[in-house]
Amino acid sequence: MGGGAGQERRESRIFGYDYYPFAPTINAAMNVVNVQLSRKVAEGFVIPLGHVNLVGVKTDVGMVGCGAFDVAALDSFSYPAAKVRPSIGPSIVDIDDLLKGIVREANRSAVGRGIKTGMTGKQALELL
C-alpha cells in the first residue's frame, strides 16, 4: 500500500502490525495495516469518523468488520462478511479490538465458510 507515483512509502509498527498510511492526497486519516493470519496476510483498516472508528479486516475472500458494516447487503454480492462486537469496552476502536471481538452476525456466505456467532474475529478471519 502506499501513495502515488514518486511518493515515498512510510512504514511503522502500530499494535504489533505493519502500518502503511495512505498518501495525503488520497485520505490522510485512513490507516491500513497488514494482519498476519496462519495461512495468509490480510489487510486491516481503521477510518476515523468523528468520535468513532470504522474498523475492518479483509482477506482475498471476505471480511470481518465492526458493527457499522451491513453484512446482509454484502451477502447480496455473495461476499462473505461478519461483524463483531467488542469483547471489552463500548466499541471496536482498532484492529486488536476487532481480532479479539466476538462475532455477533455473519451473512450466509460467511456461514457457508464455517463462521459462527460467538467465535472471535481472528477465528472468523482464519476461515476466510
Helical spans, DSSP H, in the chain: 24-27, 71-75, 95-100, 108-111, 121-126
Residue 22 has, within 13 A of its CA and on its CB side, a CA count of 13
- pLDDT the model gives residue 84: 98
Dihedral angle sign, alpha carbons of residues 73, 66, 13, 37: negative
Q: Three cell numbers at 10?
A: 512510510
Q: For the whole model, what pTM was predicted?
A: 0.77
Q: What local confidence, expressed as pLDDT, does residue 105 receive? A: 98
Nearest of 100, 105, 106, 104 to residue 120 by alpha carbon:
100
Q: What is the pLDDT of residue 51?
A: 87
pLDDT for residue 26: 43
Enter the CATH code of domain 31-126.
3.30.1980.10
Distance of CA 67 to the CA centre of its chain: 11
Per-residue confidence (pLDDT) for residue 9, from 0 to 100 = 41
Taking phi over 0 as left and psi of -120 to 50 as alpha, with beta for the rest, 57 belongs to beta
Taking only the tens of pLDDT, the chain with its 128 residues reads 444 444 444 444 444 444 444 444 444 578 999 999 999 999 999 999 888 899 999 999 999 999 999 999 999 999 999 999 999 999 999 999 999 999 999 999 999 999 999 999 999 999 99
Domain boundaries in the chain? 31-126
- Cα-trace Rg, the chain: 15
